[in-house]
Structure 1
Amino acid sequence: MESDSDFYGDENTISSLEARVKDFDVIAWWDCRTSALDHFQLASHKPPSPPIPAGCPHDDPEEGQLGAKRLSESVEEFLGRLPPATTNWRPGLDWIRISNPYAPPQPDQALARFRKGAEERLALFAELKRMATAASAKAANRSLMTLRRDISEERRETIADLLELAGACNVVAGKWMLFPGPEHVNEVWTKVATATANGELGITAKVETRVRADKERLVCIYTRDFRDKDDVRRVLNRMRELELVRPGGRQIYYKPDAWTELGIYGGNGWGIAASMYSSNEIFGYTKTVPSRFS
């Protein structure tokens, strides 16, 4: 790259980019982003989470929702009342869900502030990407490889900012996702629901109700904090013990709730991966640092 102008284009392009950056609502975004920066940095390097302690179960925060387990019923009664293979979708019954009664409640989330700041950051990246691509088309000395490299770097910085903002706003839960077929969904959900109720998996779990008889069902198994890779690994290992996943088998993926809130799915226009971890990656992570889990 000869100079900055080779990347951003002529003076009109540079002026337009500078105006876009100037209009970015940095005060509101950084206010949320930095208010818990010290907490985020500490949480990023915290030791592995201890096992969920035994004690008196607390109330289910989902109690009262149509598809939630009732406090008055056993897990067996809950499974019998709402078997996912035959429980049809209807308004208010998109999901069947159960919470870990031993997991402490999640901290309050600043969802509106997260969405606002994150959407502005994504819009800024999209504009940078558009302007860089447009400028490249006019610059004969700018190679496609260089353009891709610079856009990839901008994307990495955007992802880092979004994750940091999610931490500052407590939008830190995430979920492992299973997709059993309709013939297996009851068996899979029984294992997941029972283990969740016993405090063996994550903070909560849910399964889609039936929309079509032949459709795979999404089962989500939530962990408290996507930054706590050791806890993410612990839940995956328990899923392996329950024969819900196995090393070398069909991969499953872990997605942060922050990405769901922003509508980041496969094939999105930002080119951001829809998931954070894969099961094969986490199984590999376990093998490379065995001393941490002994």
Structure 2
Amino acid sequence: MDSDSDFYGDEETISVLEARVEDFDIVAWWDCRNDMTSYLRSTMQPQNTTQIAAPLYNAYEGEPGAWRLSESIEQFLARLPPATTDWRPGLDWIWIANPYIPPGPGSTRAQFREGGAERLRLLDEFAKMATVSAAKASGKPLNMLRKDLAKERRETVEDLRELAVACNVVTGKWMLFADPGYVNDVWARVARATANNQLGIGAKVETRVESEKARLICVYTRDFRDKDDVARVLNRMRELELVRPGRQIYYKSDAWTELGIYGGNNWGIQASMYSSNEIFSYIKSVASRPS
């Protein structure tokens, strides 16, 4: 390129381009563009730019001790502070639901209680007969009797778990015990995290019966079989400083609560399903797996 004129072309090229400019119909060009734009718009799906708020749920709506969707969390905590809210008939617990989780399918708890009680009765009968049999057969070692009882107990637990699944009694809860002087603070952290969809499906705290009694707080998960979700909730509780190092807490299924299986029960069945130490070990094992 020897000169600026070479950039625009020779005189013949410039003459042709100038003629094209003079003949260009800008109105027709815009009309064509408008027609094409209209066509493209007609073939596109309309976009709904309006944001639709997600529906909120309250599984405990109407309960005297429950959070209401119409009030803020701070209003709820001020209305029902567990440190000073006394027990009365119908107000055993203060409840809060996770408003982002819809209620699950209904459960047949009465059927589960009936079937579960019958299975526990069979365990009782087996234990009595095995004990009598061992007493008559003096040559049968005591450790053999213990093995037989342990085997029957394991089978009972498995049967009860299957029955719980069949009756959809699969919710469970992490259990915290808060000192009376700190129960408002602990409950406030649980309530806020539950309302913000950071924990499980709901939570509850005992109302006051004795001023010096530690208060039970339950943090619920949807399904005791979902170990990853159980672990997720526990880990979030640790982040919220609800679970402290060296202080173990326990997870219990609602199925066991329905059947009255508590610590030291006559059947020798472990009352809790998981411990926090066990689940923290599970979290470490999952984290160390190769991706």
Shorter chain as denominator, the TM-score bin is 0.7 to 0.9
Q: Is 1:284 aligned to 2:290, yes or no?
A: no
- CA separation of 1:292 and 1:102: change in aligned 2, threshold 3 A: farther
Give, in angstroms, the shift of residue 290 of structure 1.
1.2
Q: Decide which of 163, 166, 169 is 1:165's aligned counterpart.
A: 163
Percent identical pairs in the alignment equals 68
Residue 98 of structure 1 corresponds to which residue in structure 2? 96
1:243 aligned counterpart, secondary structure: coil
Residue 120 of structure 1 corresponds to which residue in structure 2? 118
Structure 2 distance, partners of 1:171, 1:276, is 14
Residue 148 of structure 1 corresponds to which residue in structure 2? 146
Contact 1:55 1:102 in 2 (8 A): no
Q: Decide which of 211, 214, 228 is 1:213's aligned counterpart.
A: 211
Give, in angstroms, the shift of residue 57 of structure 1.
3.8
- CA separation of 1:293 and 1:237: change in aligned 2, threshold 3 A: farther
Give, in angstroms, the shift of residue 103 of structure 1.
1.0
Q: Decide which of 245, 255, 258 is 2:255's aligned counterpart.
A: 258
1:210 aligned counterpart, secondary structure: coil
Residue 203 of structure 1 corresponds to which residue in structure 2? 201
Structure 1 distance, partners of 2:283, 2:289, is 9
Residue 135 of structure 1 corresponds to which residue in structure 2? 133
- CA separation of 1:240 and 1:93: change in aligned 2, threshold 3 A: same
Residue 226 of structure 1 corresponds to which residue in structure 2? 224
Q: Decide which of 182, 185, 194 is 2:183's aligned counterpart.
A: 185
Structure 2 distance, partners of 1:199, 1:226, is 18
Structure 1 distance, partners of 2:290, 2:183, is 31
Contact 2:231 2:280 in 1 (8 A): yes
Structure possessing the higher radius of gyration over alpha carbons: 2
Q: State the aligned residue count.
A: 240
Structure 1 distance, partners of 2:233, 2:271, is 20
Structure 2 distance, partners of 1:292, 1:224, is 26
Q: Which runs of 5+ in 1 are unaligned?
A: 1-53
Residue 63 of structure 1 corresponds to which residue in structure 2? 61
Task: Report 1:229-244 matches (<5 A).
Answer: 229-244=227-242
TM-score by length of 1: 0.79
Residue 86 of structure 1 corresponds to which residue in structure 2? 84
Give, in angstroms, the shift of residue 170 of structure 1.
0.3
Structure 2 distance, partners of 1:106, 1:132, is 42
Give, in angstroms, the shift of residue 59 of structure 1.
2.7
Q: Which runs of 5+ in 2 are unaligned?
A: 1-51
Question: Taking CA–CA contacts closer than 8 Å with sequence separation of 6 or more, which of the two structures ends up with the larger relative contact order?
Answer: 1
Structure 1 distance, partners of 2:290, 2:188, is 28
Structure 1 distance, partners of 2:285, 2:69, is 42
Contact 2:57 2:100 in 1 (8 A): no
CA deviation map 1:127-155 (0-9, x unaligned): 00111011111111111111101100000
2:186 aligned counterpart, secondary structure: helix
Give, in angstroms, the shift of residue 172 of structure 1.
0.1
Structure 2 distance, partners of 1:85, 1:60, is 24
The range that moved more, 74-83 or 102-111, is 102-111
Contact 2:91 2:207 in 1 (8 A): yes
Residue 174 of structure 2 corresponds to which residue in structure 1? 176
- CA separation of 1:292 and 1:236: change in aligned 2, threshold 3 A: farther
TM-score by length of 2: 0.80
Give, in angstroms, the shift of residue 61 of structure 1.
1.8
Structure 1 distance, partners of 2:90, 2:82, is 15
Structure 1 distance, partners of 2:54, 2:246, is 37
Give, in angstroms, the shift of residue 291 of structure 1.
5.2
Task: Report 1:22-37 matches (<5 A).
Answer: none
User: Cα RMSD over matched residues?
Assistant: 1.5
Deviating above 4 A after TM superposition, structure 1's stretches of 4 or more consecutive aligned residues are 291-294
